[in-house]
Chain A
Amino acid sequence: MNVFLKRLYLGLVGLFLLLPLIVVAGVSVNEKQTLAFPPQGFSLSWYGEIFANPEWRSALLASVTLAAVSAALALAIALPLSWFLWRRHAPWANVFQLLGIAPFTLPPVITALGLLTFWATTGFYGQPWTAAISHAIFFVTLPLVTLSLGFSSIDRSLVEAAATMGADDRTIFRTVVLPLILPYLVSGYAFAFVLSLNEYIVAYMTVGFTMETLPIKIFNALRYGYTPTMASVTILFVAIAALIFGLVARFGDLPKLLGAMSNNEK
């Protein structure tokens, strides 16, 4: 009875989370260009459309490029910062940790508007690269959090041990710190990449009129009518996110990354 109630509750929440996706998945395989569920006929042509239609294809390409570049940039900001905070005793430098976490904590429209006024003032408004920097700043929180977590899990005596065995600072970083921080580096990149792929408002405010990322493209399409490609893109995105987080879980310790203590600490 008790177990049944538990399962029922978890199941209902699961259903709530899955229901929209099931309907969209159904809609995405409609044979004709109709918004119908259950689907009428079966066709995967709307998935082909993402790659065949030049507009969708270029939006996909723009999104993936933006996500790849901005996540790398976010990592480039987060890694030296979190390394410094771990390695050195400099309480005032925590200000930068705070600055790195703020953009993601504030309502996104604020960061977006701040960046919009900044790019407009400096005259770079609309340049595609401004979107990469904007996303890197907006999502730097994610690698920052995973990396601080990663560094705090490294036993400092490992670094001392390496020094007693003859390794200088640079060698220690390369042979000890980097291999141990790598899983956190990868997951930080993965988080930033997936979220950048899906981000709408910052991208829209900074480069909305010059560059169409997939979320912008979907929204524009939504306003001017309906095409099943929107549904197939949605499912594609869910699949990408699930795949990436699944890989992170497969090769890393997902519960630990999300703040649970690792098993041997329990």
Chain B
Amino acid sequence: MSGLALQNITKEFGTFTAVKNVSLTVPHGTFVCLLGPSGCGKTTLMRMIAGLDLPTGGAIKLDDADITRVPTHKRDLGMVFQSLALFPHLTVGENIAYSLRIRGVGKEDQKKRVDELLSMIHLSGYADRPVAKLSGGQRQRVAIARALAISPKLFLLDEPLSALDAKLREAMQVELRQLQQRLGITTIVVTHDQREAMTMADTVVVMNSGEIRQAAAPVEIYRRPADTFVADFIGMTNLIDFTADSTGRAHALGSPIEGLAVPGGLSRGVLSVRPEDVHLTAPGHGAMAGRVTFVRDLGGTIETFVEAGGKQIVAVSMPHARPDVTVGQDVGIKLSPDTCVVLKS
């Protein structure tokens, strides 16, 4: 199979296990985001793919060749570091040409390739500038161009956009995704920003405590989270405890939820309901009873906080469907069964 395969990768630092038995396949040409809170092992996993750390167990294969023990400099990678790691003693052009120079590419060919890459990142004519004179966004682009200079088999980016301000970061996310699709290069990005992951990735890999919790397409991750951690980590959600009676009917917040089928044998669990799937109605009529505690109007969306059964539930609505409620008012909550994800607690 062409692409990258991680087989039962484990990494221990002394008594601490940073990555636990991780397996993952990344088909050729796909864009994968490793997403998780800090300390979840995503950076360690990427460093092992790059050969900067060696796994204590498992194997890494690239296009069916075992590269687990191949030193970094023989892996033909392109990597963008969190700090960007642009060489301060070299110019923009020299930075981009570095991997070509190491491989003994002729001066003329180096220059041609550098010009090509500079035009790709919209920085034509910047070859002779010192990197210190560039803006944050420009440095970012140079780091990307430098990593792509040899057309690597694998393009790795470790929190590449974290140093940029919010606006620029969003623009770069789009640009990076378009670039990857144009080049068709296998790409892995480490990030803690779920918006970034959702924007760019074909597959989002959610990690926590050194393990993969779910690996799936962004919408799938959002709509069908595999467990409460993923549900809670990706976007906003309401996690509501439920119990099921012998007929498989679910009860939550003191009311039954009509039409929700609970898998057999599960007597209690958690429902994940996205705030936009929580509908507020008039109290009664079989709806769960709640009381409004706070309303936050963000202009584009309106968030209504409702206390129900000792739990805080958030409902999000668009301005055209603004709920007519005030703080302290009693309301009813309606959940439609097809938007409730049943999870083990």
Contacts and interface: CB of A to CB of B under 8 A. Distances in A.
A and B touch in the complex (CB under 8 A): yes
Nearest to B47: A160
Interface in B47-100: 50-52, 71-79, 81-83, 85, 87-89, 98-99
Interface in B259-317: none
A164 B77 CA distance: 6
Contact of B99 (A155, A157, A166): A166
A3 B128 CA distance: 45
B83 A176 contact: no
B133 to A, nearest CB: 13
B102 A155 contact: no
A160 B101 CA distance: 17
Contacts of B79: 160-161, 164
Contact of B83 (A155, A163, A165, A179): A155
Contact of A165 (B52, B71, B82, B102): B102
Interface of chain A: mostly helix, strand, loop or mixed: helix
A164 B147 CA distance: 9
Contact of B71 (A155, A168, A180): A168
Contacts of A162: 87, 98
B226 interface: no
Given A157-B81, A157-B83, A160-B52, A165 B89 contact: no
Contact of A176 (B51, B72, B78, B87): B87
B146 interface: yes
A48 B174 CA distance: 73
A168 B73 contact: yes
Contacts of B71: 163, 168
Contacts of B74: 166
B98 A165 contact: yes
Contact of A164 (B78, B82, B101): B78
Given A158-B87, A176-B87, A164 B50 contact: yes
B320 interface: no
A220 interface: no
A68 interface: no
Nearest to B101: A175
B83 A171 contact: no
A167 B78 CA distance: 12
Q: Which 8 A-B pairs have the closest CB atoms?
A: A165-B99, A161-B85, A163-B72, A164-B79, A157-B85, A179-B89, A166-B102, A157-B81
